[in-house]
Amino acid sequence: MSTAPARGGRRAQTRRRIAEAAAVLFAERGYGATTLQAIADAAGVHVQTIYQAFGTKVAVLAETAAVLVAGPDEESSTPPPERKWVRELFAEPDPVRQLFLYAVHMRTVSERYMSLLDVMRVTAAVDPEVGAFLATAERGRYDGPAHITPELAAKGALRQDLTAERAADIMYALTAYDVYRSLMVDRGWSATDTERWVAATLASALLAPAAQ
């Protein structure tokens, strides 16, 4: 009997353990001061395991970001269209509810991801590899709105003066991680109030009156 699925599962678990250890160390020490040996020690693996699995520290950073964005219940390797929250969002017929589900998702991601994002922003100024990855990651954040708004347009839910592309731009801006931090951390809003405000603002900005 083949043991490939079990090996694959162990590899995924090891990668996640390394990424989770790296997330803590990057937040505590910064990217530059965190060595692969320190990550290996924290993850309980040999440093050679990290080199074999990732090759470079920036690759560890990329996996760390992917794990934090995916969350504890999804594999970082699962394509976004196959993730549970995406399937639920696109199965939802109500445009207002779809926008609420996206607002909730981005709130949960922001809470996991902001500490690492802060580290990457500081590091990007002096490390071109990190800067390149950060730019790629930010472009990736646009993929959510870019897939959602054409679906809203196809069922006639968008305002008549909005193209799907312009609607995606607005959605991208209103769900930036810093929006959530400004309200929840800087201003002390609850998660519930923040989600509701972002969702209501998205609905008002994007949806035709009949869809609201």
> How far is residue 47's CA from residue 39's CA, in Å, rounded to a whole number?
8
* Average predicted confidence (pLDDT) for the chain: 94
CATH architecture of 1-70: Orthogonal Bundle (1.10)
Q: Mean pLDDT throughout 91-100?
A: 97
Which tens digits make up the pLDDT trace of 8-29? Answer: 488 889 999 999 999 999 999 9
> How far is residue 80's CA from residue 108's CA, in Å, rounded to a whole number?
16
Yes or no: say if 148 and 89 are a contact pair by the CB < 8 Å rule: yes
Task: Give the rounded percent of residues in the chain with a pLDDT score beyond 90.
Answer: 91
Identify the three-state secondary structure at position 149. helix
Give the model's pLDDT for residue 11: 87
Is the predicted pLDDT of residue 150 greater than 80, yes or no?
yes
Q: Which amino acid is at 51?
A: Y
Position 127 confidence tier, pLDDT thresholds 50, 70, 90: very high
Give the model's pLDDT for residue 60: 97
Task: Give the rounded percent of residues in the chain with a pLDDT score beyond 70.
Answer: 96
Sequence-distant (6+) residues with CB within 8 A of 15 are 53, 63, 76
Is the predicted pLDDT of residue 2 greater than 80, yes or no?
no
Q: Which amino acid is at 123?
A: T
Which tens digits make up the pLDDT trace of 153-172? Answer: 999 999 999 999 999 999 99
Q: Provide the whole-model pTM.
A: 0.90
Which tens digits make up the pLDDT trace of 68-88? Answer: 999 998 999 999 999 999 999
Q: Mean pLDDT throughout 180-191?
A: 97
The dihedral sign for the CA sequence 23, 25, 28, 30: negative
Where are the domains positioned within the chain? 1-70, 79-212
Sequence-distant (6+) residues with CB within 8 A of 192 are none
CATH architecture of 79-212: Orthogonal Bundle (1.10)
Is the predicted pLDDT of residue 144 greater than 80, yes or no?
yes
